[in-house]
Amino acid sequence: MSLETSLILFKPDAVAKNVVGTVLSRFEAEGFRIRGIKMLALSDEILAEHYSHIADKPFFPSVRGFMQESPVIALALEGENVIARVRDLLGPTDSKAAAAGTIRGDFGDKEGDAKMRNVCHASDSVEAAADELKRFFKEGEIFA
């Protein structure tokens, strides 16, 4: 096993539904440790950087609009193989396809845009996590 730190973003739908604490409890129940946590409003610049892989797509303005509906909560979460394990806990990106018992299956949007309103973003690799953590946390905001 490998000790890793992942970025989790609680998206505006998680904040609006008041499920952040419940989801965070699931992460903690898995033995993961919080190394950093904060609430922030996302600027156009940070969203363009974070979503650079889709920033030129015609649907990006709707993604940006959604991610700016409310502040998000950024979480630096540490644990053994945390990146893969968190993604398993979340379930598929499309909440409509997520099984009951997964975070997206239990709390994701089943009626609207289930691929966007899916509770959390989570890093998908060690390399992505390193980049994303630097994007959302300044030096000194992640603790040992």
Residue 15's Cβ-count burial label (10 Å; 0-12, 13-18, 19+) is middle
Report d(CA 131, CA 118) in Å as an integer.
22
**Catalytic site residue 50?**
no
- How many Å is the maximal CA-CA distance in the chain? 41
Active-site choice (76, 121, 129, 132)? 121
Strand, coil or helix: what is 20? helix
List the catalytic residues: 121
